[in-house]
Amino acid sequence: MKKKDVKLKNIRGRLQSENSTVALILHEGKFYPTPLSEDTQTSIDHIARLAASSYKNHMDMEVTMVGYVVGDILYEAKVIRTKEDRILDEGHDEEYWNNRVPKADILWRARRLPQFTQVFSVDVRQIITLNDSVIERDIRDHNLTVEDPDNCDEDIYKIYHHSRVKEINPYDYEYDTPVFGCEFFMYPYELRMVGKGDCDDWGIELASYLITAGVPEWRVRCVVGTTYTGGGHLTVYVLADDLANWHHINSTTPWSSVLEKGFQKLSDFPKTDDPSDTIGIKDVWFSFNNRYAWHAFETHASESKVKKFSWFNNFRVIPRFD
């Protein structure tokens, strides 16, 4: 295979020793890096010794490497950035954003079984759905899979665009109460079936698409609270590749409105705490993804500000100390 037919790739993982050689361990799978080119003729033992020598200063470290991928071998592999470099250059890492504010279990009274009048609570994290075969197939059919989780701003924009214009059940907007008799958080499969929903239903589905496609879950947040115009809202914020700025991709904005505003890339979308973003969250009640929930985000609402909203009486916060 000629080099021109092989793509040069950046791959992030942890360098570890494995069976007398060096492996770059990814979240799923692994590669074996070597500083040699593909056409180098030498013994396997020599390749292993050379790799161990070349990468000895980065063993047991999280690194980004660049090289040519052929099978599970990363040829001409170089360490171009460590986790520490990345944080200094760009922003904060997963551990920081997961622990910036205290975690909590958020129980939301937003479900009701057919023919039952009692509304019951669910943990908001488990409503984001990552094993939905329809979503998985839709992502695959429209080439929305994230190839590089470290560089996915463009992917986030494409997925958001797809969520606004997709042919699979283009939803109508309707408040939950006329349909269900209460505020109701729908799973994505229920939204497809009903064909209509409001901000929380659309936002939960959008988060499910983003994380299923491969956007790291710690860079995706459903955020619930009071907007700058004073209404209650659930919407989605994503952390950009710079690991410093969260951008608001509103859960219910029509794509025509996105184009009218001239948003052509993720960085064009409003950041947190932007008062010109009238449908952005000013006072946060809680935020969550599929892994964690928090009784805050960038800001936190006082009880006096949100008690006037009926939504406020529907959630329970249980602090976590892990």
Reference 128, options 202, 196, 233; nearest CA is 202
The pLDDT profile of the chain, 322 residues, written as one tens digit per residue, is 444 456 677 788 899 998 888 999 987 789 999 999 888 888 888 888 889 889 988 999 888 888 888 888 999 998 877 777 666 656 788 888 898 888 889 998 877 787 777 888 889 999 999 999 999 999 999 999 999 998 999 999 999 999 999 887 677 777 766 666 667 788 999 889 888 888 999 999 999 999 999 999 999 999 998 899 988 899 999 999 989 899 999 999 999 999 999 999 999 999 988 889 999 998 888 899 999 999 776 554 444 555 556 666 677 777 665 5
Reference 235, options 220, 245, 215; nearest CA is 220
The C-alpha angle 270, 272, 275, rounded to 5 degrees, equals 75
Distance CA 116, CA 229 (A): 35
Domain range 90-319, CATH architecture: Roll (3.10)
Cα 296 from chain centroid (whole Å): 17
The domain locations on the chain are: 3-87, 90-319
CA dihedral for 98, 103, 105, 106, sign (positive or negative): negative
pTM value > 0.95: no
DSSP 262-283: T--SGGGSPBTT-TT-TTSEEE
